[in-house]
């Protein structure tokens, strides 16, 4: 008699509730994962470290990695990520999550050029060979929503860039995928972003109607490409 298959699990660290795992969670569930969600700054992340999941997903948020005096719990979160990196366990980071992975790897994170809204990324040769290649299905257009950037961590491979932000995506081996943009977002969730980030949009001079209109045109296509990208990455990571 064969051994019963072990239950897989994905842990998700959120920083604001509306920036959730989106299509990443859909892919993980389709692949048989239970999902355990932690709210950063509220929930104790000790269990993420002492009972590590098969996959850790670290999501975005409107704070800076370097704001540890204002948000002291960031240091503990970076420590959890650093341990996972040292153990070479699979991890996906989106936006702030990618920046936290960079910081945990010893790279510098700092204010950069603000990019908010839909726009293309330029894949590197490595990116075209990676699961990111399926983003070509959406003409490499993705949702940007960031003001910070980071240096490429030691041992990382750059996968994509924009003119304003050279490090838009990187990989470390097959166990780390870090994305400065947001291919996890479902088109139907964009209104929660427009509401939640209304102050930032106003300060940046970005009209929410522009993002809403382009989301109606391209959002579902990008989400489908993102879903396939994450599925391929999880397959390659053995998840």
Active-site annotation holds for 182? yes
Q: Tokens in use for 71?
A: 């948000």
Active-site annotation holds for 69? no
Active-site annotation holds for 95? yes
Q: Tokens in use for 236?
A: 């390659």
- The catalytic position among 95, 115, 141, 197 is 95
- The catalytic position among 33, 146, 182, 197 is 182
What b/e string do you get for 150-189 counting C-beta neighbours within 10 Å, with b at 16 or more?
beebeebbbbbbbeebbbbbbbbeebbbbbbbbbbbbbeb
- The catalytic position among 19, 141, 184, 227 is 184
Contact 41, 14 (CB under 8 A): no
Residues with catalytic function: 95, 182, 184
């Amino acid at each position: 008699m064969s051994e019963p298959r072990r239950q897989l699990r994905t842990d998700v660290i959120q920083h604001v509730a509306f920036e959730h795992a989106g299509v990443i969670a859909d892919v993980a569930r389709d692949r048989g994962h239970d999902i355990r969600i932690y709210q950063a700054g509220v929930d104790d992340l000790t269990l993420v470290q002492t009972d590590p999941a098969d996959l850790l997903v670290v999501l975005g948020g409107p704070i800076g990695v370097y704001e540890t005096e204002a948000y002291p719990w960031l240091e503990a979160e970076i420590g959890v990520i650093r341990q996972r990196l040292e153990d070479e366990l699979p991890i996906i980071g989106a936006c702030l999550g990618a920046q936290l992975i960079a910081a945990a790897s010893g790279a510098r994170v700092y204010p950069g050029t603000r990019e908010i809204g839909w726009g293309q990324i330029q894949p590197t040769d490595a990116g075209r060979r990676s699961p990111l290649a399926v983003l070509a299905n959406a003409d490499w257009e993705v949702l940007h929503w960031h003001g910070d950037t980071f240096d490429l961590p030691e041992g990382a491979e750059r996968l994509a860039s924009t003119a304003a932000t050279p490090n838009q995506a990187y990989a470390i081996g097959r166990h780390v995928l870090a994305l400065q943009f947001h291919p996890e977002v479902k088109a139907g969730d964009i209104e929660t972003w427009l509401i939640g980030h209304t102050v930032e949009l106003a300060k940046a001079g970005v009209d929410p109607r522009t993002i809403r209109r382009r989301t109606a045109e391209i959002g579902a296509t990008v989400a489908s490409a993102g879903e396939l990208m994450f599925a391929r990455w999880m397959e390659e990571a053995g998840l």
